Chains A and B, each alone.
Chain A
Amino acid sequence: MNRFAEKLKRSWFKFAESKISIVGLVIVLAVVLLAVFAPLVAPYYDHCGAYVNFADANKAPCSQYLLGTDLMGRDILSRLIGSLRSTLLMSVIVLSISVPVGFIVGSIAGYYKGSLLDTILMRITDIFLSIPSLVLAMAIAAVLEPSLKNSMLAITVMWWPWYARLAYGIASSMKAENFIIYAELTGAKLPHIIFREFLPNCISPVLTKMTLDVGYVIITGASLSFAGLGEQAPKPALGNMISTGIDYLPGSWWMTIFPAVTIILIVLGFNLLGDGISNIFNMEDN
């Protein structure tokens, strides 16, 4: 317990060494708390749906509506807070599916490096990597019905190959190490080797990549939503709020600018946090 506390303290020291990571941590914590307590925090939570009040439509930021209202008279601030849940949910779901899938595919291919199985698995991975990710995600989202769920699916499909590559690199270089050979000699089965031997060695690079990927998933999700392939109206999403607002530039700038700034802030927060976390791992390696 003491050693764990010691390690935690050291990690925090390394993390906090760059003050800017703390800024990231604060932003991320704020975003998560806002998302969790959205119904309590948002001034008009019922505006996150098919609410209409034309009397207050298209209002500039004022004391009643801090960030203004949209064409239906809905409070932009409440809708922004309401959109955080789906934004965070998307990165959690995408990463929690694509990371294990990618890890297992990559480590199996790496373990059987040089075999037919390796060639097949890694070529499939290469094929997925051979299309710009957003193009592929859009094509998949196009075939399916546009919805939040399907946009998550589309992003997951294009995300796992990166982790397969990462795990493949580590597994194939570890394969020839003595302790793996020893484990094989003592009769260890494939699952044992993958989860007991490869996994511990993959954790730090995979976690580093994951923390830096959260921002990218959010950007990709927002892009899909901007194209109309994500969360559907009347539910709020950062991308679709911008694409609606863009037709009313420059007059009703608040409909576009505030969601845009929100995306930047969230992604910035996760990127800074990710940098800080990768500092912890990088220093441990040295």
Chain B
Amino acid sequence: MSNYHEMEMRVVYAQTLSELIERNADVFCLEADLGKADASIPVVSKSHPRNFINCGVQEANMIGVGAGLAREGKIPFCATFTAFATRRCYDQITISVAYANNNVKIVGTSPGITQGPNGGTHMCFQDLAIMRAMPNMHVYSPADANELRAVMFYMAESKQPTYMQLVRLKMPKLFEDGCLFDPNQAIRLHDGRDVTLVATGFMTSFALDVARRLEKEKITVDLLHYPSVKPFDVKTLVDSAQKTGAVVVVENQNIVGGVGSAVCEVLGEHHPVRVKRLGIPDRFGEVADQDYLFNKHGFGPEHIAQACRALSRSKSK
């Protein structure tokens, strides 16, 4: 058994894709000249050259080629940076994939601030928002290597057009190897009564650290991890909000339209409580490191902890 959590997520992605192709020759790996960046070159290109297609710098065409392959029963995983995987070819995905119900798997790598040195042109803060606004599209954001594998196994089995965020970095271990993924089920990573904390993808491990830290301050956090942003598990959130009475959401995205918005939509209709959205406050990206951007935009561990304290206190007033 491999220790996937000790590997970069991109290597896990490429190895898992190879594994999926070995199991099912209909699985394809499509790239748009970023195969080296997400490790499918050489991992998939060497082991399964017939199922590896490099489209060159042609994101729009890659999506269409994927749609055609899917129409013939293939299961293409089309990967590139989040900005190019979503907003650059949004209409191609909308029509050739979602509207036509072609079973294409779109993988957006280096979401949000994890794009780091590539800066504002490459940092995409709205992919979760725009992809979840698309009918017939599922949207996933796994938080560690083992969950990534579970999500990919699910994607290869399902007939559902899907967008998945892929953090390329090594991520702290949250789940065991062999864990399962259910898009209709949020995962409670920490049990609490004082405040609900919602996170997905890259932010979940930070949120768990905060939840553990706040125990020492006698603040118990009900931490819900959403590996699937769409479909969105309504019941788990509503049950939690009924228990805690306040919700903090943190995401590696613009607070407009993303997971925070999804939470507000659900709670607004089912159980209105105070909500604090943390993430990018409607700004563009820039060349900067993680801590700088956490501090500038106010959604790092310290800001999450502060928001949890504030909301748990505000209930008693």
**Do these two chains interact?**
no
